[in-house]
Amino acid sequence: MNSSQPSSARAPSPASPHHPKCLSVLGLLPPVTAEDVKQAYLAKAMAMHPDRGGDPAEFVLLQKAFEEAKEFVQFKAGKLEWLASKIEAYAQQQDVVSETIDRGGEVEMEETDWLRKSFGDDFGHVADKLVSVRLRGPAADDVFAILLGFRADSLKDLAVLDLAGGRLTDEGLLQLKGLTSLRFLDLRGTAVGKLAAEVPTWFEHLEFLGLPPGAVGLFSRMTMPRRVKLAIGLSAD
């Protein structure tokens, strides 16, 4: 794991454009290889995993650093090839952003600082991550869910999805199954029903789940994973 670097030089400054914060989190200095990143992540993950008593929030940050570090290595290997590989995913992500805003919702993007320093704002935004979609009310329907489902591969960083008060049914809920990074899902006030009990098995990182009354029975509530905070209600208000 980057053994050529002296141990005393493993605290790069996050402010340096050549030392992305993601590498600092992993304890690495450039130049690094994909194998360096993998081994550094595995070593830290073993100690920081929540199942071993680690802080869940810190573990999420470690996972993010791992993903960003992999991107950094690919970017350094070939900037033009890396940029070309991002264009389609960026376009699909923007489709979701535009549709959400057109329907009266809100989105939150997460920027990649090191990339903007390398490419500038003109191209750096292609790696911005859509992390939150909030669309409440009737506009949050099955058609919108289908839009998200078809673009799930380009929404791998989406952590928050708030569709409270929408017209989502079980058919629409099924379309969301591919959004595997969800940690917050609010479906209170929707028309989802029998499939609701399966949701925690779809999203291994889920921490909050809002459901309408009657969507899950007593047994399902009792067997809900402890990591999931369950909220039942007609709406999120």
Alpha-carbon distance of 165 to 20, in angstroms, equals 40
- pLDDT for residue 209: 96
- In the predicted structure, residue 74 carries a pLDDT above the cut 90: no
The residues pairing with 130 across neighbouring beta strands, listed in sequence order, are 109
- For 76, the enclosing helix (H) or strand (E) is helix 56-77
118 within domain boundaries: yes
127 within domain boundaries: yes
Instruction: Give the end of a domain, one of 77, 100, 124.
Output: 77
Same domain, 148 and 179: yes
Same domain, 123 and 161: yes
pLDDT tens by residue, 38-54: 888 888 888 888 777 88
* C-beta of residue 36 within 8 angstroms of C-beta of residue 42: no
- pLDDT for residue 99: 97
Same domain, 65 and 116: no
pLDDT tens by residue, 162-178: 999 999 999 999 999 99
Report the CATH number at residue 122. Answer: 3.80.10.10
- In the predicted structure, residue 6 carries a pLDDT above the cut 60: no
Same domain, 177 and 70: no
Same domain, 154 and 50: no
* C-beta of residue 137 within 8 angstroms of C-beta of residue 158: no
- pLDDT for residue 95: 94
Q: Regarding predicted confidence, which is higher, 100 or 54?
A: 100
Mean pLDDT of the chain: 83
State percent of the chain over pLDDT 90. Answer: 44
- In the predicted structure, residue 108 carries a pLDDT above the cut 50: yes
Task: Work out how many domains the chain is built from and give that number.
Answer: 2
Same domain, 66 and 183: no
Q: Regarding predicted confidence, which is higher, 88 or 162?
A: 162
C-alpha distances (whole Å) from 128 to each of 25, 63, 136, 144 are 20, 17, 24, 22
27 within domain boundaries: yes
Please compute the mean of the pLDDT values over residues 106-120 and round it to a whole number: 73
Phi, psi for residue 168 in degrees, rounded to 5: -70, 135
* C-beta of residue 40 within 8 angstroms of C-beta of residue 26: yes
Alpha-carbon distance of 185 to 11, in angstroms, equals 37
Report the CATH number at residue 23. Answer: 1.10.287.110
Same domain, 181 and 213: yes
* pTM score above 0.75: no
Q: How confident is the model at residue 63 (pLDDT cuts 50, 70, 90)?
A: confident
Same domain, 73 and 102: no
Please compute the mean of the pLDDT values over residues 201-205 and round it to a whole number: 92
Domain holding 191, by residue range, is 86-232
111 within domain boundaries: yes
- In the predicted structure, residue 14 carries a pLDDT above the cut 60: no
Instruction: Give the end of a domain, one of 60, 77, 94.
Output: 77
Same domain, 208 and 99: yes
3 within domain boundaries: no
31 within domain boundaries: yes
Alpha-carbon distance of 12 to 20, in angstroms, equals 8
Q: How confident is the model at residue 107 (pLDDT cuts 50, 70, 90)?
A: very high
Buried/exposed code over 68-105 (b: 16+ C-beta within 10 A; e: otherwise): bbebbbebeeeeeebbeebeebbebbbebbebbeebeb
